[in-house]
Amino acid sequence: MTELRRTLARQRYLLDYTVASMSRRRTRNLGLLLVYVGMVFLLASVLFYSSALKHEAGLLLAEAPDIVVQRMVAGRHALIPAQHAESLRGIRGVRVVEGRLWGYHYDPAVRANYTLLVPPADDVEPGTAVIGPALARARGAGIGDVLSFRGQDGTLHPFRIAAILPQESALASADLFLVAESDFRALFGIPEGQYTDIALQIPNPREERTVAEKVLEALPDSRPILRAEMLRTYDAVFDWRSALVLLPLSGALLAFAILAWEKASGLSADERREIGILKAVGWETGDILSMKFWEGGLLSLLAFLFGTAAAYWHVFGLSAPLLAPVMQGWSVLYPDFRLTPAIDATQLLALFCLTVLPYLAATLVPVWRAAVTDPDEVMR
């Protein structure tokens, strides 16, 4: 028999013994596995969800203007006059300058804010609206139905639903209400020649900062916002939300760590005796460590696999019902959407290292201490 075959056979024996040993302590191991899976599930869910939301936000912002210019009055966002757009057209490096009209409308019927927006092409007929899927769902509205809003002057403005935005774009469009420019101005009382903000397209990304500086020079009362800054803000918001979820979980994490440590460090008298017997019949320290390594490895790998698989299904299959209210809530009308699976391999590796490796270490250290002691002493 070659040395390799002997080594493989030896590892197989150790693995067989480990499985038998685990099944002998079935109740305890199942309990531990359950708690372990639960922890990995929660951590992985938060990780997957925030990662996927950041990914969605990135996709969303890929369509956003390179710079948005807002007018500030007394530190507050104010309407920006169309003349400001003319001043921006002269800045080198700016290709498109476009005034935008958008705002929020509170609907007491569903106690939710809608995002009202004039589409860039202004292709919505006056008196009609194109609405987002969540809004349609909340109001029970279909194509041809009429929704009326009370405007700034107290008059009712009826809108006939011309179309409902497709479900695929739900994250971006869930609470959208697209209207014609004339209707928007009438509803909110915004005079001609005034816009909510101005969008700039900059073909060369390296010029964005320079253009922003020139915008400030040309319009000292303005605030240019770069797309990269918005992306960073989204990241920060989702990271903050993740931390918000993880903070209460830290107690559970600590409890798990204590459980794992107690289980691992406090070898029971039975386990110590078993290690002593195995050593007495000729097992080496390395064999016992291998056996315990298999045991800890099997348990933690199973927990990692079940936990991450369940988290994947929870986040991408069920749209994270346990996390959505905390993690997603920037709007009252939650979009009914399924996140595109977006998993960061580095984060997954970090999760693996945080859950599997400490457990293995906590299992192996006390076993190693028992295994290097004389068998007679271990069994006493």
Residue in 272, 279, 292, 314 binding another protein, rule: CB under 8 A: 279
Stretch (H or E) spanning 14: helix 3-24
At its nearest, how many Å lie between another protein and the CB of residue 28? 13
Residue in 87, 194, 285, 347 binding another protein, rule: CB under 8 A: 285
- Scanning 119-127, 284-292, 337-345, 362-370 for contacts with another protein by CB under 8 A, the matching segment is 284-292
Contact 200, 86 (CB under 8 A): no
CB count in 10 Å sphere of residue 164 = 18
Kindly tell me which of 336 and 376 has the beta carbon lying closer to another protein: 376
Name which of 238, 122, 106, 230 is nearest 181 in CA terms: 122
**d(C-alpha 119, C-alpha 102), whole Å:** 9
- Scanning 8-16, 130-138, 153-161, 295-303 for contacts with another protein by CB under 8 A, the matching segment is 8-16
Instruction: Say how many CA atoms lie within 13 Å of 121 toward its Cβ.
Output: 3
Q: What share of the chain is helix, strand, coil (3-state, %, to 5)?
A: 60, 15, 25
Instruction: Say how many CA atoms lie within 13 Å of 87 toward its Cβ.
Output: 16
Residue in 169, 273, 302, 348 binding another protein, rule: CB under 8 A: 273
Contact 23, 294 (CB under 8 A): no
Residues numbered 21 to 60 that lie near another protein (CB under 8 A) are 21, 24
| Tokens describing residue 325 | 């209210």
User: Does 14 sit near another protein (CB under 8 A)?
Assistant: yes
Cα dihedral: 251, 254, 259, 264 (round 10): 170
User: Does 13 sit near another protein (CB under 8 A)?
Assistant: yes
User: Does 282 sit near another protein (CB under 8 A)?
Assistant: yes
User: Does 292 sit near another protein (CB under 8 A)?
Assistant: no
User: Does 283 sit near another protein (CB under 8 A)?
Assistant: yes
At its nearest, how many Å lie between another protein and the CB of residue 16? 8
User: Does 376 sit near another protein (CB under 8 A)?
Assistant: yes
Cα dihedral: 141, 147, 150, 152 (round 10): 100
Q: Are strands 102-107 and 112-117 parallel, antiparallel or unpaired?
A: antiparallel
User: Does 20 sit near another protein (CB under 8 A)?
Assistant: yes
Name which of 247, 245, 238 is nearest 342 in CA terms: 238
User: Does 1 sit near another protein (CB under 8 A)?
Assistant: yes
Residue in 9, 163, 243, 365 binding another protein, rule: CB under 8 A: 9
Kindly tell me which of 235 and 271 has the beta carbon lying closer to another protein: 271
Kindly tell me which of 56 and 274 has the beta carbon lying closer to another protein: 274
User: Does 274 sit near another protein (CB under 8 A)?
Assistant: yes
User: Does 312 sit near another protein (CB under 8 A)?
Assistant: no
Kindly tell me which of 8 and 59 has the beta carbon lying closer to another protein: 8
Contact 101, 211 (CB under 8 A): no
**d(C-alpha 373, C-alpha 278), whole Å:** 12
User: Does 145 sit near another protein (CB under 8 A)?
Assistant: no
User: Does 287 sit near another protein (CB under 8 A)?
Assistant: yes
Q: How many residues bind another protein (CB under 8 A)?
A: 32
**d(C-alpha 333, C-alpha 112), whole Å:** 6
User: Does 284 sit near another protein (CB under 8 A)?
Assistant: yes
Contact 216, 222 (CB under 8 A): yes
User: Does 277 sit near another protein (CB under 8 A)?
Assistant: yes
Q: Which residues are near another protein by CB under 8 A?
A: 1, 5-10, 13-14, 17, 20-21, 24, 273-274, 277-287, 372, 374-377, 379
